[in-house]
């Protein structure tokens, strides 16, 4: 029998009449963790699926001996286009409505369509100290812990904040590990869909590791170059919504339709934007050997079966995009200092170990990597 979530909430905005949702899949140590997204058309079922995924990500991060021990999973969703002029007001009203749950049960942060700064501002307006107030009672010294987290958020690396780089470091390391395990005999190339904090950071780490990024898709289209794009220039000139400044493209860079990202020749495909973007109709177009899920649930189960039959390995989101969440908690609970080198070292070592375990067991048993990752999560969710 399928387990029902701990709590489902549907909220209707009195100004716009549009809904917002919160699903707490389960509690761990009395609290749940999961981001808040804003997307026109977001549904309760989508939010519930993402909340379950957060429970699995939390459980996958279990390591004996750490101060941070996994929380439960949750997710919030607001049915609004983040570019809508009224988006900020709807966010503030949603946060005010969810304040009792944010105080006691749900720690949240940025997700698709929202930046952490906007969530923080809405929380402060509602009278909350942070967007993670629910976790503070678990800390022996909340003031010191928050000071350490603030120091980590203030760290920048070559113009980009550490908080924006942590998740992409994990995705890139997942890709690099998968490359080493599945296609070690060639110089791999990558295509990335989405150029926000996750996609942009992934592009940087891959390019710096010697993996040319030959295509990047944003909301305006696809830019491509078979010899590799100038990732650093594009990163530092993108806008707050991850849109590339086309005036900074080189003469050899191509501008193509947005959905052409699936058709480019590459070894690694990184969907880092929306959920369910690779379905049964898109799967046959994939030319890559590897898909590394930086977005939440970008590959549908039906498409994953087709891809597997074609020899494509999918590194699931529950593993690949979990570093942002883990980095927050490792830092807050004091398992790593507020330093970029320590953060990247922890993320890389943890991600390489988990991806190696998942892909090795998948190759040995013939099961999907997603099934193996879920099994590891389920084992970690068992009473300890």
* Residue of 57, 75, 99, 147 with catalytic role: 75
Sorted by sequence, the CB contacts under 8 Å of residue 258 that are 6+ apart come out as 217, 218, 219, 220, 221, 222
Contact between 42 and 77 under an 8 Å Cβ cutoff? The reply is yes
DSSP E strands in 212-312: the ranges are: 213-218, 221-224, 254-256, 268-271, 290-292
Q: Which stretches within 183-230 are classed as H helix?
A: 197-208
Tell me if residue 38 falls in helix, strand or coil: strand
CB under 8 Å to 285, separation ≥6 — which residues? Answer: 262, 263
| 76 within 8 A of 108, measured Cβ to Cβ | yes
Neighbours of 378 (CB within 10 A): 12
CA 265/CA 89 separation, integer angstroms: 43
H helices present in 16-161, as ranges: 44-60, 87-97, 99-104, 116-125, 142-154
Of 10, 66, 74, 110, residue with least CA distance to 329: 66
Contact 289, 183 (CB under 8 A): yes
Question: Is 147 known to be catalytic?
Answer: no
Nearest to 37 by CA among 85, 79, 72: 79
If one counts every other C-beta atom within 10 angstroms of the C-beta of residue 117, the result is 11
Residue 80, helix vs strand vs coil: coil
Number of H helices, E strands in the chain: 13, 15
Among all residues, which ones are annotated catalytic?
75
């Amino acid at each position: 029998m399928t387990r029902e979530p701990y709590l489902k909430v549907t909220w209707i905005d009195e100004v716009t009449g549009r809904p917002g949702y919160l699903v707490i899949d389960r509690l761990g140590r009395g609290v749940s963790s999961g981001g808040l997204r804003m997307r026109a058309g977001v549904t309760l079922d989508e939010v519930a699926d993402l909340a379950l995924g957060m429970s699995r990500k939390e459980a996958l991060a279990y390591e004996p001996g750490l101060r941070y021990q996994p929380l439960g999973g949750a997710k919030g969703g607001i049915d609004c286009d983040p570019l809508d002029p009224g988006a900020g007001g709807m966010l503030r009203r949603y946060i005010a409505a969810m304040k009792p749950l944010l105080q006691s049960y749900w720690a949240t942060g940025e997700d698709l369509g929202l930046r952490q700064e906007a969530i923080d501002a809405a929380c402060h307006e509602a009278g909350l100290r942070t967007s993670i107030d629910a976790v503070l009672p678990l800390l022996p010294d909340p003031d010191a812990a928050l000071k350490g987290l603030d120091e980590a958020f203030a760290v920048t690396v070559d113009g980009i904040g550490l908080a924006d780089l942590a998740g992409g470091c994990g995705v890139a390391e997942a890709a690099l590990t998968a490359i080493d395990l599945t296609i070690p005999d060639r110089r791999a190339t990558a295509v990335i869909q989405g150029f926000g904090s996750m996609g942009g950071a992934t592009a940087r780490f891959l390019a710096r590791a010697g993996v040319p990024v030959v295509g990047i898709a944003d909301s305006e289209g696809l830019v491509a170059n078979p010899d590799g794009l100038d990732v650093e220039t594009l990163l530092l000139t993108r806008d707050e919504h991850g849109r590339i400044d086309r005036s900074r493209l080189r003469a050899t860079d191509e501008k193509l339709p947005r959905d052409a990202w699936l058709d480019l020749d590459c070894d690694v495909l990184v969907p880092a934007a929306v959920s369910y973007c690779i379905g049964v109709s898109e799967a046959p177009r994939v030319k890559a050997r590897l898909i590394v899920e930086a977005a939440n649930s970008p590959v549908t189960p039906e498409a994953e079966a087709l891809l597997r039959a074609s020899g494509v390995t999918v590194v699931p989101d529950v593993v690949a995009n979990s570093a942002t969440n883990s980095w927050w908690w490792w830092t807050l609970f004091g398992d790593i200092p507020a330093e970029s080198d320590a953060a990247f070292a922890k993320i890389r070592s943890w991600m390489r170990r988990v991806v190696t375990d998942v892909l090795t067991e998948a190759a040995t048993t013939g099961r999907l990597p997603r099934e193996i990752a879920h099994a590891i999560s389920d084992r970690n969710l068992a009473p300890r």
